[in-house]
Amino acid sequence: MIALRQIGPVTTCVLLLTACGNEDPERLFAASDKHPRPVDLVLTEEGRPDPLVLAEQQVLHRDNGEEPQTLDPHLAEGVPSSHILRDLYEGLTAEAPNGRLIPGAAVRWNISRDGKTYTFYLRRDARWSNGDPVTAEDFVYGFRRSASPATASNYAQVLLPIANAAEVLSGQLPLDQLGVLALEEFTLQISMKDPTPYFLGLLTHSSTYPVHRSSVMQHGSTFTRPGKLVSNGAYLLKDWVVGSHIELLKNDNYWDAENVIIKQVFYYPHTDQSSASKQFRAGKLQWTSEVPHNQFEWLQQHYPDELVISPWMGSYFFGFNLQREPFIESPELRLALAMALDRELLTEKVTQFGERPSYTLVPPDIADYVSPRPEWADWTQQERNAEARSLYAVAGYSDEDPLRIEIRYNTGENNKKMALAVASLWKQVLGVQATLVNEEFKVFLQNREQKVLTQVFRAGWISDYADPYSFLQLFRTGHGRNDYGYSNPLYDTMLDQISSERIPSRRRRLMEEAERVLMEDMPLVPVYTYVTKRLVDQRLKGWDSNVMDHHYSKNMYMLKTYTSASDTTPTQEAGE
Amino acid sequence: MLRHALGRLLGVLPTLLMLITVAFFLMRVAPGGPFDSEKALPPEIEANLNAKYHLDESLAQQYFRYLGQIAVLDFGPSFQYKDWTVNELIAQGFPVSLTVGLLAMTLAFGVGTLLGITAALRQNTGVDYSLMGLAMLGISIPNFVIAPLLILLLAVYAGWLPAGGWDGGFASMVLPVVTLSLPVTAYVARLTRGSMIEVLNSNFIRTARAKGLPEIVVIRRHALKPALLPVISFMGPATAGMISGSVVIERIFSIPGLGSYFVQGALNRDYTLVMGVVVFYGVLIIILNFIVDLIYAWLNPKIRYDEKR
């Protein structure tokens, strides 16, 4: 059996005459056995894959990390739910594989000059999975349901830029006062509270999806069950067994159904990453949500083509509690601690998966925005260490009287390694005596919020939309997650200006200035920016890496394996 | 006998009430709430959520509301899995856990007693030593070591069995059932061996042998029943533990059972889910202990209750 299976890869070597000789047999066996190499991708003139290269079975098995909390788009908040909802529903806007915004249920839109009125023209050929047309009324109903206090959505903050949304959410105004109107059957108008340049991006979030009114009315809270759920996206819900799988089938009523190639999608909630990667190796999954954190070298060696790592819209950092000693009045100390971290070392040795060292709050990869890097970011680590030591001395600490602090983090292998490494770097460079405190997530969050026990703590932020404001607002006075106790009236004023500014260049400058102010006050130590890391079957194409990590199954397709295709000559796959 | 059984059943109610009360308040004492996350909730949204799940009421009100619900067997909606009620989640998860648990239990008791008896009969021989050595290994190597090893060997390299997942078919059950049963098999084997040796040295066995009965009859008719008593009393809680689902097995093999709800529920402060699982598990243990008592009485005449002399 084994011998037979190895024929595939062995022939590859003969034909390719590349450096196969150096590869160990395990690698050949592991990578090529259950994941045979695909044929070359041939595109038609319209840029679609040539039917000749497509596999017969267009079934996709995706690992989704966790059981989705809900398939009700207006209650959903977690990543697992949103992956499935993007397949089931379609908002006014959507995303291309590379993350670029494209028309979704709206075919085009106008934005008024003051940036406060959006008019959307819906597709007339859009249909619900039961054949009903998708109308502006469906969207009005969806927005109102999402904002209704009775729905109790915990992600309705996405709607807050819409006029009257906050008042509707708190029950002060009736639902029909929400700034969303159906002008005509296929024309929708949304009025805004502030001009919100990232609003079109927010419209890909499930909180803004339409829902099928009559089925929600009829089934109430059970409308998301298989057989009851009526959706307007490329797929419909076939089956849902909690903890086991969710099965989606292609929605033949979808307006673009002829271009949807994957016919059936399975989502699995593999909470255990090593079991997901074993299922991938056994050929049962084509897509994993993560990879085991401690297996980078092994994966890179055995699955170099399947391992996909790409930047993500998120920052990992440590926060200071500015309401507790020693950080109340100590800019030198905070700066010293920030400088003393060798981020290159931390990302290379601790996180390992190609995370990028960061010196600012906002991650790179946001179009048209460049975070103001502090001057010391361009120094060598030796220079930083020297400066850190003198700042540490200025702050009044020495080897005889070192700083004693607690570093608090929530349970997690990566957090633990990171906290350990940070503590030892601070000790090595400055002589800081740091104690590590590990807490269960909810306990940790509560302690952070109360700001009584915390000194230095792990923090992070992954944004739902590619806009620096999402990161900057975390440090506003009184923000629910401002666990730093940071309060700077100047900074707050700048945030207000940013939210009411409608000229992009001016808004961008304001944001850069705000971030500079923030990084000078240094209520946080940036460490690195997140990456997504997963295993993807080489036969699966039609997707692309993007910083939001949004991947629509409708764009994907499976290629034939080249052993079964005699009409194409195998050549080496071009690098991703 | 019947009176005894009824009395036992009535005694269950205060135990359950106690269990519910302690679990309810312990859950609420834990820091944080179901809606805490690294994302901040605007106050108006938090108020809506609290109102929807009655978390804006006083703790006493919530407690009595919960007791009222339990009385009609309604565990309420899950906070974490918003589309499902706790009743539905248990109804979906329990059959899976029950199947895996019962199969593993059968395997463990069948194989375990057989091994134990074999070892006892060959006491202090190579067979005995190697069997008990294996059993010791089975007890000491944890599930989370054995399971990935078995997956790697039988699923990834050999490709004979699925690497995980659950389709209700035989193939998807083999690995989880075997893994789950291994430590119990080992424990049962050691337990059986010990008690069997004790029984074989007792006077009534000597008498039976002296009467000239063949060894096989001595074992089957006289030694087996008393030797199995300790195994039976171990069986009650062990069965409850196995059919209520194992977190480790469920996570590693991706099985949609009950076990992970308990841990996930507690971590997410999913109050209703944790309470539902606690109550369900409590009732299960009580029932199983009750059944064990009955079997015990049937096996051991010394503790029969309804015998009138």
Structural domains present in chain A = 89-222 (3.90.76.10), 316-531 (3.10.105.10)
**pLDDT at position B303, please?**
66
Min CA distance, B160 vs chain A (Å)?
10
Hey, is the C-beta of A478 within 8 angstroms of any chain B C-beta?
Answer: no
Contact B151 A460 (CB under 8 A): no
| Residue B295: pLDDT band with limits 50, 70, 90 | confident
User: A119 φ, ψ to 5°?
Assistant: -115, 125
Q: Which residue of B has its CA nearest to A471?
A: B39
Min CA distance, A408 vs chain B (Å)?
15
Contact B44 A170 (CB under 8 A): yes
Each residue of A363-372: b (16+ CB within 10 Å) or e? bebbeebebb
Give residue-wise pLDDT tens across range A285-335: 999 999 988 888 899 999 999 999 999 999 999 999 999 888 988 889 999
CB A205 within 8 A of CB A219: no
Higher pLDDT, B30 or A517: A517
Hey, is the C-beta of B246 within 8 angstroms of any chain A C-beta?
Answer: no
Chain-centre distance of CA B213, in angstroms? 40
Of A150, A166, A275, the CB nearest to B44: A166
**Whole-angstrom distance, CA of residue A90 vs CA of residue A105:** 6
**Whole-angstrom distance, CA of residue A92 vs CA of residue A345:** 44
Hey, is the C-beta of A154 within 8 angstroms of any chain B C-beta?
Answer: yes
B185: exposed, middle or buried (Cβ count in 10 Å: 0-12, 13-18, 19+): buried
**Whole-angstrom distance, CA of residue A85 vs CA of residue A78:** 11
Hey, is the C-beta of B95 within 8 angstroms of any chain A C-beta?
Answer: no
Q: Of all helices (H) and strands (E), which one includes residue A460?
A: strand A456-462
If DSSP codes are grouped into helix, strand and coil, which group holds residue A529?
Answer: strand
Q: Tell me how far CA of residue B137 lies from CA of A503, B180, B186, B194, in angstroms.
A: 70, 14, 8, 17
Hey, is the C-beta of A356 within 8 angstroms of any chain B C-beta?
Answer: no
**Whole-angstrom distance, CA of residue A354 vs CA of residue A99:** 21
Of B32, B35, B165, the CB nearest to A284: B165
Q: Is pLDDT of B171 > 80?
A: yes
Contact B163 A279 (CB under 8 A): yes
**pLDDT at position A102, please?**
94
Sign of CA dihedral A8, A9, A12, A17: negative
Hey, is the C-beta of A169 within 8 angstroms of any chain B C-beta?
Answer: yes
Q: Of all helices (H) and strands (E), which one includes residue A112?
A: none
Contact A243 B256 (CB under 8 A): yes
Beta-strand pair A404-410/A245-250: unpaired
Q: Of all helices (H) and strands (E), which one includes residue B280?
A: helix B271-299
Hey, is the C-beta of B252 within 8 angstroms of any chain A C-beta?
Answer: yes
Contact A152 B52 (CB under 8 A): yes
Q: What angle do CA A228, A230, A231 make, to 5 degrees?
A: 145
Min CA distance, B167 vs chain A (Å)?
8
**Half-sphere exposure in the Cβ direction for B275 (13 Å, CA):** 30
Q: Is pLDDT of B304 > 80?
A: no
Q: Which residue of A has its CA nearest to B258?
A: A243
Dihedral angle computed from the Cα positions of residues A152, A155, A160 and A163, in that order, rounded to the nearest 10 degrees: -50
Domain boundaries, chain B: 94-268
Give residue-wise pLDDT tens across range B193-229: 999 999 989 898 889 889 888 888 888 888 888 888 8
**Whole-angstrom distance, CA of residue B233 vs CA of residue B288:** 10
Q: Which residue of A has its CA nearest to B268?
A: A442
Contact B36 A281 (CB under 8 A): no
Enumerate the residues of chain A whose CB falls inside 8 A of the CB of residue B27. Answer: none
Hey, is the C-beta of B39 within 8 angstroms of any chain A C-beta?
Answer: yes
Q: What is the share, in percent, of chain B residues with pLDDT greater than 70?
A: 97
Contact B42 A268 (CB under 8 A): no
If DSSP codes are grouped into helix, strand and coil, which group holds residue A263?
Answer: coil
Q: Which residue of A has its CA nearest to B161?
A: A282
Terminal-residue alpha carbon distance, chain B: 14
Q: Of all helices (H) and strands (E), which one includes residue B235?
A: helix B224-243
Q: Chain A interface, mutation test: which of B83, B87, B260, most A Cβ atoms within 10 Å?
A: B83
**Whole-angstrom distance, CA of residue A514 vs CA of residue A471:** 11
Q: Is pLDDT of B86 > 80?
A: yes
Superfamily of domain B94-268: MetI-like (1.10.3720.10)
Contact A170 B47 (CB under 8 A): yes
Hey, is the C-beta of A367 within 8 angstroms of any chain B C-beta?
Answer: no
Q: Chain B interface, mutation test: which of A64, A442, A447, most B Cβ atoms within 10 Å?
A: A442
| Nearest Cα residue to B228 out of B110, B65, B127 | B110
- Phi-psi region for residue A351, left (φ > 0), alpha (ψ -120 to 50) or beta? alpha
**pLDDT at position A88, please?**
96
Hey, is the C-beta of B168 within 8 angstroms of any chain A C-beta?
Answer: no
Enumerate the residues of chain B whose CB falls inside 8 A of the CB of residue A71. Answer: 83
Beta-strand pair A356-357/A524-535: antiparallel
Min CA distance, A287 vs chain B (Å)?
15
Ordered DSSP codes for A178-218: SSEEEEETTEEEEEBSS--TTHHHHTTSGGG----HHHHHH
Give residue-wise pLDDT tens across range A508-518: 999 999 999 99
**pLDDT at position A50, please?**
86
**pLDDT at position A39, please?**
83
Average pLDDT rounded to a whole number, residues B259-280:
88
CB B92 within 8 A of CB A241: yes
Q: Which residues of chain A have pLDDT under 70?
A: 1-36, 562-576
Hey, is the C-beta of A149 within 8 angstroms of any chain B C-beta?
Answer: yes
Complex-level ipTM beyond the 0.95 threshold: no
Give residue-wise pLDDT tens across range A119-152: 999 999 999 999 999 999 999 999 999 999 988 8
